[in-house]
Amino acid sequence: MSVTAAKSQTLVIENLNKTFRIKNSTVEVLKDVNFAVKPGEFISIIGPSGCGKSTLLRLVVGLDGEFDGGISLGGNLIKGPGVNRGMVFQEARLYPWLTVEENIFFGLGQQQSPEEKKYIVQEHLELVGLESFAKAYPHQLSGGMQQRVSIARALVNRPQVLLLDEPFGALDAMTRINMQQEILRIWETEKTTILLVTHDIDEAIFLGDRVIVMSQRPATTKTIIPVELPRPRDRNSYDFIKLRKEIHTKFFAEVEVPFAYSI
């Protein structure tokens, strides 16, 4: 009875440029961003903070329509928000006046019958392992649990692309590792394309099929590094650490050595 997902399509970002007008000056945020994401691929995007990674996701999800260049999903240009793309933010952004169940229910549109909706909500509660918290209010949940609800809400419409904007950034280290495994499990069952923005190199390698390293503002796609490690990945394996070092070097190449150390 579940809604069958439309066949995943390729997400293409071409010559993307984005500027912000602050008072009378313009600030370039994104410059010549180009990459394509294959259906079902898991892409990690890392870059220095404030470089415009989050802006990129906001453009893809359709919250901001003022940019040059093209973003297309399966050949169709993206012009605004749509349920074929779901998004999870750093804060869970659940509605405090709705229960867990109702928050997930809110994600659904008008297409399904009430029985179908009930089934889909139940299905997604199970997917994120919160069946027993269906009637709880968000303030009664831990940060990690809230983020699970947020993920469930983003997934109810079976989006082709799931955008994750530093979703685990506010969680403690233990919970974060837990949630990373969780998101992999969800990705493997749902087969959605995932774009994850993070500042955690470890997380980027552990999760991504490819890691896109972005430069300081204006952000461009500096390098795209394929992660050819078998899953499940071991964070302490030789290849993992080697790759981490490689990205680390690229990541911090531009960062100036602090004054105090340059004697």
Closest approach of Cβ 112 to other proteins, in Å?
14
- Using the contact rule CB under 8 A, the part of the chain among 3-11, 77-85, 177-185, 191-199 near other proteins is 77-85
Instruction: Return the range that interacts with other proteins (CB under 8 A); candidates 87-95, 111-119, 167-175, 225-233.
Output: 87-95
What mask, x for binding other proteins by CB under 8 A, covers residues 191 to 230? ----------------------------------------
Helices (H), 138-234: 143-155, 173-190, 201-207
Interactions with other proteins, residue window 17-76 (CB under 8 A): 61-63
The single residue among 23, 49, 66, 96 that binds other proteins, judged by CB under 8 A, is 96
- Is residue 89 at the binding interface for other proteins, with CB under 8 A as the rule? yes
The residue (of 3 and 241) whose beta carbon lies closer to other proteins is 3
- Nearest approach, Cβ of residue 106 and other proteins (Å): 7
Least CB distance to other proteins at residue 156 (A): 9
Alpha carbons 247 and 202: distance in angstroms, whole number: 10
Instruction: Between 63 and 253, name the residue whose CB sits nearer to other proteins.
Output: 63
With a CB cutoff of 8 Å and minimum separation 6, the contacts of 40 are 8, 191, 192, 193
Q: Binding pattern to other proteins, positions 99-118, x when CB under 8 A?
A: -------xx-x---------
Considering only CA atoms, give the Rg of the chain. 19
- Note whether 82 binds other proteins by CB under 8 A: yes
Over the window 136 to 155, marking each residue x when it contacts other proteins by CB under 8 A and - when it does not, the resulting string is: -x-x-------------x--
Considering only 45, 71, 87, 155, the residue that binds other proteins (CB under 8 A) is 87
State yes or no: residue 91 binds other proteins (CB under 8 A).
yes
Residues that bind other proteins (CB under 8 A): 61-63, 81-83, 85-87, 89, 91, 93, 95-98, 106-107, 109, 137, 139, 153, 157
